[in-house]
Every structure is written in C-alpha cells, then in structure tokens.
Amino acid sequence: MSLSDFLRVENTASAKRTVVFLLGLCWVAATCFAAALPKVKASAAPTQITLGAEFKLAIEAECPEGFSATPISRDIPIAPFEIKNIERSTRTRNENTVERSVLTLTVFEMGDLLVPAVMVEFRDTAGRVYQRYTDPVPIKVVGVKKRPQDKDDVRAIKPPVSYGMLFVWTAAVALVVFLLLLGLAVKVILRKRKHWIDPESLKPAHERAALEWGRLQAKPLLGEGKVKEFYTELSLILKRYLDRRFDAQTFELTTQEVLILAKQLELSSEVVQKIRHVLENSDLVKFAKQIPDRSLADSLAREILEIAEKTKPEPE
C-alpha cells in the first residue's frame, strides 16, 4: 500500500467516526430536549366491559420543572363515552411532577370502540401554552346475557337520564314561580274583567240617562260657578241617550244636525221639540255665556227624562 492509499483510508475512517459522533450528539440532544417537554399517556382498565358498565381511563400528565398541567374538565369531547366522575392525584417521578386524572366512564354502544384522544394543556413559567394529546385507547363493549344459557346479546339501550339534585330544586322553584305568576295573572284579569263589565252598561238606555242625571245633580258644579261645564254635561246626557237608544252618532253633530236626525228617526214632534229646547238652551250657556236661572237646570233635566220615557222600547 502506498502512502497516498494509506492516507485515503485514514481520512475515510476519520470521516465515519465524525459522522457517528455527530449523530450520537444529535440523539443525545433530542433525547434531552424531549425529556424537558411535558408528556401524556392514557390507559384503560378493564379494556373489555359489558354494555352500560363503568371502566377507568387513567391519564398521566408528566410536567418537567417549570411546567404545570391544566386539570381535565368534564366537558372534554369524549363521545360516545360519558364521564361519570374524575379523581385527581399528584406524585413525583424522576424530579418531574405527574398529574394523574382517573376518569370513570360508561358507554351504551356495543362493538370495538376507541376512547378518543384527550388533549392536555400545559403552561410554562413564561405563560406559553403547550398542548399534548393522548393516544386513542381501544375498548371492547359486549352485550349482557339474559341467562347463562342465552346466546343472543341484549341490544344496545339508550343511556338513562340522570337528574342531579340541583336540577330538581331548580325545576321545583321554577314551577312554584310559574304557578305564582299564573295566579297573579288570573287575579289581575278577573279584576279587570270586573271593571270591563260595568253593571250599569247592562241597563236600558232610559235608566242609564236617569242615573247619569242623578250623578250630575250630585256634583257641586253650579255651586262652584261652573255653569258651562254643567250644561255641557247635561246636553251630553241627552246625546248619549239618543246614541244608545237609536244607535246614533250625535257627539260630533251640531244642534241642527241632531234635530234633522231626530226627524229621520221619525220621532214625534213633541219629542223633537223637547230635544230642541234642551240643546238650544244648553248652547246659549256654552257659547253665548248666558247665566240662566237655577230652575232651568231642573226643567231641562225633566225634559230629558220625559224624552227617554216617551221613546223607550215597548215592553215585550
């Protein structure tokens, strides 16, 4: 072997040793880096259950120094499995903190199922968030035999509905509040209905006219000098009577228009004359500002009652 060949072989061996050294150094660095990051794993016991039975899913979150794990919530997506309970514990392993969560699960589907991957969230001292996922865990669910000699499994059933005490108390309070509000609403409606159905409104028109005159007579309008207000109300008693008795609309009509309407209703000339007398005298007070004698009020009131008496329906 020549000197050049020897140097070539030595250089090749040295290069190989360098490559091996660098690969080893990378492996050590990767191992150390991986060891410095959080890790999670999950396991189930037992791995075969009967339909509706419970089993344990243990999730271990290993936190290196400077990391902390967020506790697993019951709201994690883990369908078709249901979380019945979660137990948590903490221990130390190789100077790392291990957060262990044991989930009690149940399922109401049969066959070879997979518990979905569960995400565990970690935070470091700088506030950075890291997420790690467990591997899916296989579970075999078999049916329940009716009797040992039975061959056919029971079909999958729907999970029973479970109501906690908080739900029961909430429903009871809501029912009581609803009943109280319902009772209050009924009471208010009945009270309003009592006001809606005024007993006086059920009386015939001529009787209502007499009642209205009695109320007006009891008011101290004339004694207080409120003559215009008194005669305005007096004329309205007559117009309300005509409206109720003949289904007319006289409130917006002038005295002349009311008289024309009275003739169209074929009222007697005596009645028409009394209507004219009441309305025209009331107009003199309202618009001409006359101050009549006190006796005029009683006279006009008697005429209104006579109009009502002469035009009331004949008894059946």
- Whole-number Å distance between alpha carbons of 125 and 96: 15
Domain assignment present for residue 167? The answer is no
pLDDT at 246: 92
Residues 138 and 212 in one domain: no
Domain assignment present for residue 32? The answer is no
Helix/strand/coil for 159: coil
User: Which tens digit of pLDDT belongs to each residue from 123-155?
Assistant: 888 888 888 888 999 999 998 765 555 555 555
Residues 130 and 228 in one domain: no
Domain assignment present for residue 105? The answer is yes
pLDDT at 12: 64
Domain assignment present for residue 125? The answer is yes
pLDDT at 238: 93
Domain assignment present for residue 189? The answer is no
With a cut of 80, say whether residue 42 has pLDDT above it.
Answer: yes
Domain assignment present for residue 180? The answer is no
pLDDT at 165: 75
User: Residue 100 maps to which CATH number?
Assistant: 2.60.40.740
Domain assignment present for residue 270? The answer is yes
Residues 300 and 207 in one domain: yes
Instruction: Count how many domains the chain has.
Output: 2
Q: Determine the Cα angle at 277 with ends 272 and 282, to 5°.
A: 130
pLDDT at 145: 64
Residue 36 or 121, more confident: 121
Domain boundary pick from 142, 166, 194: 142
Domain assignment present for residue 288? The answer is yes
Domain boundary pick from 90, 123, 142: 142
Residues 207 and 306 in one domain: yes
Q: Note down the domain range covering 137.
A: 39-142
Burial of 45 (0-12, 13-18, 19+ CB in 10 A): exposed
Q: Enter the tokens of residue 120.
A: 């565990």
SS3 content of the chain, % helix, strand, coil (to 5): 45, 20, 30
- Whole-number Å distance between alpha carbons of 254 and 286: 13
Residues 219 and 136 in one domain: no
Q: Enter the tokens of residue 169.
A: 């108390």
Task: For residues 202-227, give the mean pLDDT.
Answer: 91
